[in-house]
Amino acid sequence: MRRAADTARRDARAAQRDRRLTDGTVAAVANAGFARHFVPRRWGGDEGTFAEVFRAAAGVGEGCASAAWCAVLWAAHGRFAALLPEEGQKEIWGEGPDVRIAAALMPPSGSASRVSRGWLLQGEWDLTSGVDHAQWMLLAAPEADEPGRPVRVFAVPRRRVTVHDTWNATGLRATGSNTVVLDATVVPDSRSVPLAVLLAGDGGGDAPRCHAAPAHLAGGLMFCAPAAGAARRALTVWNRWARTAAPGGVRPLDRASVQERLARSAAEIEAAELMLCTAADRADVGAITEAATAVNRRDATLAVDWLATAVDRLFRTGGAHLRDAEGELHRHWSDVLTVASHGALRLEPAAEAYARSLEAHGGGDA
């Protein structure tokens, strides 16, 4: 894992410039085992824990949040693909578990129509992080001919889609979260599953915990992992600046106002990471309940807000050279704020789910 973090840090400037991860970083992330982390053991995967993948992604995030973002999503999408029918899983992992899967699940797009022994799928999907280095895709589309247009997820080889270079964001620049277009393609039933099944998890009694967990129990904390690592590194970079004497021999850290901002930001970063680690443990070993899921959603949204607040405070406190657009602190600041703006980490729906869980179960947290 350390090699992946070191490689990501070494290549971060090139990745920012090119708006895609370097081949060296992708290889290091692959060797660290992210793609296989949640893959079923029968295909050679690890069926790993959420705590493990959170810590690993946060470590990579110290070097490059874009690399950590792609890494944790490649892991998460393997977890979703494990809910496909057996034949579809074999197509993906029959030759080995280290298969990188990109996805466009929310919001659904395109359309799917029933045909003999499968589905006719076509459309355009935005924000497919990591697609440049993926081998398979998971694409969510509504069923065009069904009342209510229920949504299904389809596994499609990466070579079948056309990628349009549309991602040019300030933060997470190297994720390559581009737009993909799929011309009308027949996808067999073996490579399709209702989106509701992916969100609910495998309810079978013998399913490994990482596949049984519903998406909202662990999804938010995995999204937060790159931001946790980037915030940790931002604090290190800022501390280096604060301890360096300015002209006249006075260090920024000798000022009371700077000391206060350091204390606040350091405490918020540490508290956020502790809360996310607790959420990961809850996802791994706690009872799978509506209340536990709601608490984890709540904690992920609040933790990432603390991380963004802490890093933004450090950024605004730093000197002009520290805030240079080409500097390391600027990269971590923009990455953390971009993660915090993700739709999956919005407080409003998480707060609503938490409040409803309390009403349904009569009070306290999981």
Instruction: Write out pLDDT tens, residues 19-28.
Output: 999 999 999 9
Predicted confidence band of residue 348 (pLDDT cuts 50, 70, 90): very high
Residues 6+ apart with CB under 8 A from 325: none
Peptide bond into 107 cis (omega under 30): yes
Q: Say what the pLDDT of residue 359 is.
A: 85
Domains and CATH numbers, the chain: 2-93 (1.10.540.10), 101-196 (2.40.110.10), 213-361 (1.20.140.10)
Instruction: Write out pLDDT tens, residues 24-81.
Output: 999 999 999 999 999 999 999 999 999 999 999 999 999 999 999 999 999 999 999 9
Count of other CB atoms within 10 angstroms of residue 305: 15
Q: Say what the pLDDT of residue 116 is.
A: 92
Instruction: Write out pLDDT tens, residues 271-326.
Output: 999 999 999 999 999 999 999 999 999 999 999 999 999 999 999 997 666 666 67
pTM across the whole model: 0.95
Token digits of residue 339 = 């993660």
Count of other CB atoms within 10 angstroms of residue 341: 13
Torsion of CA 312, 316, 320, 325, to 10 degrees: 30
Instruction: Write out pLDDT tens, residues 154-196.
Output: 999 999 999 999 999 999 999 999 999 999 999 999 999 999 9
d(C-alpha 237, C-alpha 317), whole Å: 13
| CA nearest neighbour of 211 among 194, 220, 222, 199 | 199
Instruction: Write out pLDDT tens, residues 225-273.
Output: 999 999 999 999 999 999 988 777 889 999 999 999 999 999 999 999 9
| CA nearest neighbour of 136 among 197, 184, 95 | 95
d(C-alpha 233, C-alpha 62), whole Å: 5
d(C-alpha 239, C-alpha 244), whole Å: 9
Would strands 101-104 and 162-164 be described as parallel, antiparallel, or unpaired?
unpaired
φ, ψ dihedrals at 362, nearest 5°: 75, 25
φ, ψ dihedrals at 170, nearest 5°: -70, -45
CA 307 vs. chain centroid, Å, equals 15
